[in-house]
Chain A
Amino acid sequence: MTRLAGGLIDRSLPLNFTFDGKAYTGFQGDTLASALLANGVQLMGRSFKYHRPRGVVAAGSEEPNALVELRSGARQEPNTRATVAELFDGLAARSQNHIGPLDRDFLAVNDLLSPFFAAGFYYKTFMWPKAFWEKLYEPAIRKAAGLGSLSMLPDPDAYDKGFLHCDLLVVGGGAAGLAAALTAGRAGAEVILADEDFALGGRLLAESDLLDETEASVWIATVRAELDSLPNVRIMTRTTVFGVYDHGIYGAVERVADHLPTPGDKVRQTLWRITAKRAVLAAGATERHIPFADNDRPGVMLAGAMRAYANRWAVSPVKREADAIAIFTNGDDGHRTAMDLIAKGAKVLGVIDVRQTAPRFGDYEVFAGATVTGTKGRLGLNAIEITRNGRSEWHPVGALGVAGGWNPNVHLASHHRGRPVWNADLLSFVPGADGPKGLIPAGAAVGKGGTEEALADGMNAAITALAGIGIVAAGIALPKAANAAAEQVAFWHVPGKKRAWVDFQNDVTVKDIALAHKENMRPVEHLKRWTTLGMATDQGKTSNISALAVMAELTGKSIPETGTTIFRPPYTGVSLSVLGGGDTGTTFRPRRLTPTHHWAEAQGAEFVEVGQWMRAQYFPQAGETHWRQTVDREVLAVRSGVGLCDVTTLGKVDVQGRDAGEFLNRLYANMMGTLKVGMVRYGLMLREDGHAYDDGTCARMAQDHYVVTTTTANAGLVYRQMEFFHQCVWPELDVQLISTTDAWAQIAVAGPNARELLSRVVDDFDLSNEAFPFMACAELTICQGLRARLFRISFSGELAYEIAVPARYGQALIERLMQKGADLGVTPYGTEALGVLRIEKGHAAGSELNGQTTAQMLGLGRMVSPKKDSIGAVMSRREGLAADRRRLVGLKPLDAGTQIMAGSHLFTAGAAQTMETDQGWVTSSCYSPHLQSYIALGFLEAGDARMGEVLVAANPLEGQEMKVEVVSPHFVDPEGGRLRD
């Protein structure tokens, strides 16, 4: 055990946990990393590429090395940073990315082969033969690479999402963030304070600095208590603000139950979208290390992290208490660690300071003008080589803290393409002025990392932010604090022949950067992709700037000239489960159910997703073993008796007003203003570019009242288009629009017995052909007084009607029709039969109205009225469209039993099958039980003049080729007698 005195852990609450099956004990307040270190465990994993032994480097979310698998079974979670995994009783963690035991990883052989695995290795090695990539190289590489493993089981936990609104979002609860939140909270502003840690305080928890001459935790507790008491302040710990999005929206993940063994009845995590009028970025800073030979050994870590472990978790990072600790630094900050460790009673070898005139702040040895040039220790550090004035000597140590300076966490400020700017005094990038609007960086995030300056900067940022939205905030009394000495010099890496790691997680060394330079991969974007630097799960938080500095040294340019590292969301990894929003399976997305859905379900219908809708696809009956049997029966029933189909999904738009007719004239390609009251007309809409857009019927219920129907797929789009033209293009027209799609249950009643069936439900209404002819419509009552609408329209080509009733009666109506039509052979039919019926009749649907077709191609060219202007009419007459000679045709295979694949292309028999000889394509295909043959629709070059010609329908993807005869698209009743009589 290497526990020190003090710390912010609760020693009265011991917690048992396991790592690689071995039992350990930690305390409430520990992270997995601090608890492992306290138990003398330095070796926590293997590196990504070379499988080098690795230990913890950092103490926060920037950790590149200490990645573990947490939990087991379906909750197994790979690549979890041990530094942010809160310890709980019973926690089970395993190391990852090794074959065999962690301390004898078989894949460590990769390290011996490292000369072959230099930067760009994959790109150079696995290029030939080309065909090997997909089948051999990639699977093999993927198997060897990667970090943790997946359980391959569905995530058993619930996830949630939500929305919050505030005046001021404070990102980060350290010195600056707390001062900002308190300032804004006292001013009465709506404040959200979010911090990724489970405790507020940020670096205040990790430092020994006093506030008002007492421990910082006292001040933090006082502030927390006040913030908790303010109803206008919401404190969100365990919450990472991971990105800035449009309109002042910040994405945040709250880890509601990650710190519990299982979530119980809680959700695991919540995705919050926070709309903030202003935000203060008080995200602190991340320490960088200094690459030197063999700097990746367990026991080598960031000096600031070492301080955090000592002060917050009372842990010394050595395996044995007797082991000494050394610090390697380019500035004063490293000395702080030495001082804190000494104060805690740890054994300190001394501070290796690259500066010739290195200061000494206490009773410890200073190796001035010295560097660390090597390390020893197979699975953990046991000695370092210190080189001074060309002389090297080895010193036994159990841990080495490395302090290379601090990089402000500019991440969120560089979303929205904000460019960080180089600050030569701070030797770091700081947020630029062009970051997200309304986001003010403060404290260490802007380079003001001294406690005193961070507190003041946070307060001032809040005052400035609130002033921008008209809230006057007064300054608050800040605690007395000091800024620690922070002199430093630019020192980016220790030159040498051996490998010096820059990016620990992706195993990128100084040599790799040199190779990238040599191979002219010099821009940072190329450097990143060639070496994979910064592309691991930590996104290079501890390595990016050091890499830039190394490249700058090689190119002879300054760091800002070499490039800037900017960041995209997310700040840290966000699970797909929480992004998914929670619902899975059938509730993954909303489903629109037709008014007869529950009835169809009770009939055993199979359903098909049609956009948001669930539609009955077919209604199998006992003894039917194949869907085709069912569909054939349904189709024949419609053609010989009467069928019922719920067509509620077709869009319905109520159009009223004095100018409704004129409005529809402009909307439809054909004339609607002349339609007689009580009649329906088939209508075609064009897109503005002249292509066919949507078709449907338009019924005139009264002089100033039409009901427009659209296709199911385009219901929303057509309505939107209507609103756009109504509101923006023709506001002078007196028109009122509203959707009534859901309001009315609409059922198609189709077949020779349709009239007879309807006559059994209507109240005293003359359905005779004379009184209610083809394309008539009327408002009437049915079933003793229920208001209804009746349209005599036909998609199937049979005598057919569509009857609409208020949706709440839809189910009762279909039940009544089924009951009344039993002797007429009434049969419910689904979308499959609907499709067969319309193909047999040659009616276009989505496959024909695919955005590439014109009215002429559909055989509807004469519908584009030359007597008026309408959307797309002018463009439809342009040469490119008007000259298109492809026409809708019917196709029959010479062998009636062979299916024509939709999507097949048509070629002249005997001709070569090339793009140039392509004659058209097959749009829709089905088996016609009526004709006892497969049939199809398609577009064919000059198709209307090629009846009887035999073509080849080729489907190269499936290796199919068949002969088809060109016929009329109207396979059934081409004269239309059935639907008119």
Chain B
Amino acid sequence: MTDLTPVTALGGTVPRSEVFGALSITENAGLALASLSLRQGQLAPAPFGLVLPDVSQTVSTGGYGAFWTGRDQWMIEAEGQGDSDFAARLKAEVPEATVTEQTDGFAAFEIQSSAGAAPIEALMHKLVNIDPKALGVGRATRTGLEHMTVFLIRRADDRLAVIGMRTLAGSLWHALAVAARRLEA
């Protein structure tokens, strides 16, 4: 175990979390990410028991998840493994496929509503040109948010993950927090 101390994408020693009325936004520093791409002619494997999903879909099981990011390409998520060499673990699962470490390429923000889907959808109206009705539970997409590129993952009716570039974490947090705060007003 290294003796270096990591910081979160927002630069803190602990993940940031804030409540805005019915919405809470939490930095998910524990989320590990690795991309999985098939080699030409390779059949889709099932790492960690995940059935790799089709276009704009996401799946999850037992602390692992996957969302489609391109043709024959997925992002694999692992909860609570942000500090580990998750790419190596994934590679061990799918030795034939191409795996690239992505954990620190991104900053993940988990948005939770305490009042059902409506606050999540109202927030989306302010942030992304995506019809919330088209981003139902189990759907994922990549889109622009305040001139930044993000993945949106609708984990549940009342939960949305926004995953953006790590170096833009501060700006992304600002965008999310300002929009959430205005919904409170």
Chain A residues close to B by CB (< 8 Å): 158, 160-165, 190, 265-267, 273, 275, 582-583, 587, 589-595, 597-598, 612-613, 648, 654, 656-658, 734, 736, 738-745, 781-787, 805-809, 811-813, 816
Contacts and interface: CB of A to CB of B under 8 A. Distances in A.
Nearest to A163: B129
Interface in B1-53: 1-9, 11, 29, 35, 37, 39-40
A589 B106 contact: no
Interface in B83-105: 83, 85, 98, 100-105
A265 B104 contact: no
A275 B104 contact: no
A372 to B, nearest CB: 52
Contacts of B11: 593, 597-598, 811
Contact of B98 (A163, A657, A743, A807): A657
20 contacts: A160-B182, A162-B127, A267-B182, A591-B171, A592-B165, A598-B7, A613-B167, A658-B39, A734-B39, A736-B37, A738-B37, A738-B100, A743-B101, A743-B102, A806-B103, A807-B104, A807-B105, A812-B5, A812-B7, A816-B4
Given A587-B174, A590-B147, 16 more contacts: A162-B126, A163-B127, A587-B171, A592-B167, A597-B11, A598-B7, A598-B11, A738-B102, A740-B105, A742-B166, A742-B167, A785-B2, A807-B104, A808-B7, A808-B82, A811-B11
Contacts of B37: 656, 736, 738
Contacts of B128: 163
How many interface residues does chain B have, given as a range?
35 or more
Contacts of A783: 2-4
Determine which residue in B29, B102, B147, B182 has the highest number of CB atoms from chain A within 10 A of its CB, and name it.
B182
Question: How would you classify the secondary structure of chain A's contact residues: helix, strand, loop or mixed?
Answer: mixed
B129 A739 contact: no
A232 B175 CA distance: 28
Given A594-B167, A656-B98, A743 B5 contact: no
Contacts of A657: 39-40, 98
Determine which residue in B83, B105, B106, B131 has the highest number of CB atoms from chain A within 10 A of its CB, and name it.
B105
B99 to A, nearest CB: 8
B73 interface: yes
Contacts of B35: 738
Contact of B126 (A161, A589, A591, A809): A161
Contacts of A594: 167
B104 A808 contact: yes
B32 to A, nearest CB: 10
A953 B2 CA distance: 55
A122 B175 CA distance: 47
A734 B168 CA distance: 32
A814 B5 CA distance: 11
Given A162-B126, A589-B147, A808 B100 contact: no
B146 interface: yes
B24 to A, nearest CB: 20
A742 B100 contact: no
A812 B6 contact: yes
Determine which residue in A158, A164, A589, A592 has the highest number of CB atoms from chain B within 10 A of its CB, and name it.
A592
Nearest to A705: B98
Contacts of B130: 163
A594 B169 CA distance: 11
A743 B166 contact: yes
B131 A165 contact: yes
Contacts of B146: 583, 590
A592 B167 CA distance: 5
B169 to A, nearest CB: 8
Nearest to A273: B129
A592 B126 CA distance: 22
A590 B168 contact: yes
A965 B165 CA distance: 47
A654 B100 contact: yes
Nearest to A581: B146
Contact of A786 (B4, B29, B165, B167): B4
A593 B170 contact: yes
